[in-house]
């Protein structure tokens, strides 16, 4: 099993090109199942999750070809049953459910896996599909959905922690081929949902309101092939921005989308980072000492839960007390104990982490528990004195394309090793 070995204490300096968004490309790849025609998707990141999605689509009968950062998908003939061993590895794979139901009027997909960060039920996905007329059965670890026909409907998809991103995507895809008009209230507003809607509209769908809490889909008889470029990954961009601030360096993000990152950039600015914007490029540097800030994760356009762990690593380095409150996932503080191994002083009180920052971090072996926890440990290791070994690197490969290579180009002393 591979690990990342980091010798910290080097300020990051230079430029990094931001890859396509993982959370956008997975449902967009699944949406190619909605048509018999070929689809071409550009700026596809080289990630294990993307590779798994390609394998899932291939098992469903689609032809999938990767060429550099482009994937070509031709789902001329497909079947409606997903592979358990593949689907269970990745939560994002559940987004094949809506397209299969729309195209074949039936689907059988394993309950999904992914990061262990608390309960992430798919009940809102199923509620939306049932509102379209599907019958849902859960048996033996599989979700079976079937409908003689899908009928547009009005529905509310708000949940305990707010809207569901993948649930909105799943219902939106299914509704493109339903009869009549579907209205999703309390829809997720994330840029990744907007990007999926843009791809579906390029295929001939009729979707309005994406990016707002009310999305309207007028069903069409069929969709055709399309070509699309995926948006930049706002979480990857935020991670490198925070790493630059944490190490006291200066990092330029090439091809980012500042308009997708306002909450993160606002908190970084409050924390004392200097941010310069030039079209799609962002430069982040430390202009002076960092300042503690409080953070609460919220649905978009609030502070993203996927950046909570990285900001906690930064606050652990920052003198003062900061309170980080997690409102999306109840078990997303598993990185706290590993940050403590590096010397961080953090206490958990209910949904909040009390970070007493400013202590010197020193390198140690640490264990990644999930994708974003991995990124937090890498950031802490980059700023720590001595050597840090981040184990279970397969987590970080799910969402960061060539992270060790990109960090080396910024001057980091980091290499991939085979863990003993």
CA separation for the pair 230, 44 (Å, rounded): 7
SS (H, E, C) the chain: CEEEEEECCCCCEEEEECCECHHHHHHHHHHHHHCCCEEEEECCCCCHHHHHHHHHHHHCCCEEEEECCEEEEECCCCCCECCHHHHCCCHHHHHHHHHHHHHHCEEEEECCCCCCCCCCCCHHHHHHHHHCCCEEEEECCEEEEECCCCECCEEECEECCEECHHHHHHHHHHHCCCECEEEEECCCCCHHHHHHHHHHHHCCCEEECCCCCEEEEECCCCCCCCEEECCECHHHHHHHHHHHHHHCCEEEEECCCHHHCHHHHHHHHHCCEEEEEECCEEEEEECCCCCCCCEEECCCCCECHHHHHHHHHHHHCCCEEEEEECCCCCCCCCCHHHHHHCCCCEEEECCEEEEEECCCCECCEEECCCHHHHHHHHHHHHHCECEEEEECCHHHHCCCCCHHHHHHHCCCEEEEEECC
Q: What is the dihedral of CA 84, 86, 88, 92, to 10 degrees?
A: -130
pLDDT of residue 114: 42
Question: Could you tell me the two tokens for 377?
Answer: 């440990």
Note if the bond before 301 is cis, omega within 30 degrees: yes
Q: What pLDDT does residue 141 have? A: 77
Domains in the chain with CATH codes: 2-19+232-418 (3.65.10.10), 22-229 (3.65.10.10)
pLDDT at 92: 63
CA distances from 203 to 91, 218, 268 (A): 25, 13, 38
Q: What is the pLDDT of residue 35?
A: 98
Cα separation, 398 vs 22, whole angstroms: 9
pLDDT of residue 117: 33
Cβ proximity of 56 and 87 under 8 Å: yes
Backbone angles phi, psi at 84, to 5 degrees: -60, -45
Token pair for residue 224? Answer: 């055709």
Q: Would you state the structure tokens that stand for residue 273, as one six-digit string?
A: 């980072």
pLDDT tens sequence for the chain (420 residues): 899 999 999 999 999 999 999 999 999 999 999 999 999 999 999 999 999 999 999 999 999 999 999 999 999 999 877 655 656 656 668 899 999 999 999 998 887 654 433 344 788 999 999 999 999 998 887 889 999 999 999 999 998 888 999 999 999 999 999 999 999 999 999 999 999 999 999 999 999 999 999 999 999 999 999 999 999 999 999 999 999 999 999 999 999 999 999 999 999 999 999 999 988 899 999 988 999 999 999 999 999 999 999 999 999 999 999 999 999 987 789 999 999 999 999 999 999 999 999 999 999 999 998 999 999 999 999 999 999 999 999 999 999 999 999 999 999 999 999 976
C-alpha span between 280 and 255 (Å, rounded):
5
The whole-angstrom distance between residue 285's C-alpha and the CA centroid of its chain comes to 25
Which active-site residues does the annotation give? 115
Question: pTM here?
Answer: 0.95
Q: Which residue has the tokens 């960092």?
A: 290
Helix axes 22-31, 191-202, angle to 10 degrees: 30
């Amino acid at each position: 099993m591979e690990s990342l070995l980091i010798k910290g204490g080097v300020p990051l300096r230079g430029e990094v090109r931001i890859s396509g968004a993982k959370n956008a490309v997975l449902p967009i790849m699944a949406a190619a199942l909605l048509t018999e025609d070929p689809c071409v998707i550009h700026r596809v990141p080289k990630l294990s999750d993307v590779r798994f999605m390609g394998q899932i689509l291939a098992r469903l009968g689609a032809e999938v070809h990767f060429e550099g950062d482009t994937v070509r998908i031709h789902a001329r003939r497909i079947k409606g049953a997903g592979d358990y061993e593949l689907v269970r590895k990745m939560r994002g794979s559940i987004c094949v459910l809506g397209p299969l139901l729309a195209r074949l009027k039936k689907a059988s997909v394993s309950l999904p896996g992914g990061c262990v960060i608390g309960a992430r039920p798919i009940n809102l996905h199923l509620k939306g599909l049932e509102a379209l007329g599907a019958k849902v059965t859960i048996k033996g670890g599989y979700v079976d959905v079937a409908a003689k026909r899908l009928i547009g409907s009005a529905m509310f998809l708000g949940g305990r922690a707010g809207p569901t991103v993948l649930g909105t995507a799943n219902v939106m895809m299914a509704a493109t081929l339903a009869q009549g008009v579907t209205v999703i209230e309390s829809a997720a507003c994330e840029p990744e949902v907007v990007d999926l809607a843009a791809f579906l509209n390029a295929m001939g769908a009729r979707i309005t309101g994406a990016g707002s809490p009310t999305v309207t889909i007028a069903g069409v008889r069929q969709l055709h092939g399309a070509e699309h470029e995926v948006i930049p990954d706002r979480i990857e961009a935020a991670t490198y921005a925070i790493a630059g601030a944490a190490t006291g360096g200066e990092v330029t993000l090439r091809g980012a989308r500042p308009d997708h990152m306002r909450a993160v950039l606002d908190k970084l600015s409050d924390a004392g980072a200097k941010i310069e914007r030039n079209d799609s490029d962002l430069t982040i540097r430390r202009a002076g000492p960092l300042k503690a800030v409080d953070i609460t994760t919220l649905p978009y356009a609030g502070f993203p839960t996927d950046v909570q762990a990285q900001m906690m690593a930064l606050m652990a380095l920052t003198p003062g007390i900061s309170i980080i409150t997690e409102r999306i996932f109840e078990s997303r503080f598993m990185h706290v104990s590993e940050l403590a191994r590096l010397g961080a002083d953090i206490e958990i009180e209910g949904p909040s982490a009390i970070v007493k920052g400013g202590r010197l971090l020193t390198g140690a072996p640490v264990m990644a528990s999930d994708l974003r926890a991995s990124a937090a440990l890498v950031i802490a290791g980059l700023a720590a004195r001595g050597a840090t070994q981040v184990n279970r690197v397969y987590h970080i490969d799910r969402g960061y394309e060539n992270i060790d290579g990109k960090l080396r180009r910024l001057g980091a002393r980091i290499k991939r090793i085979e863990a003993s």
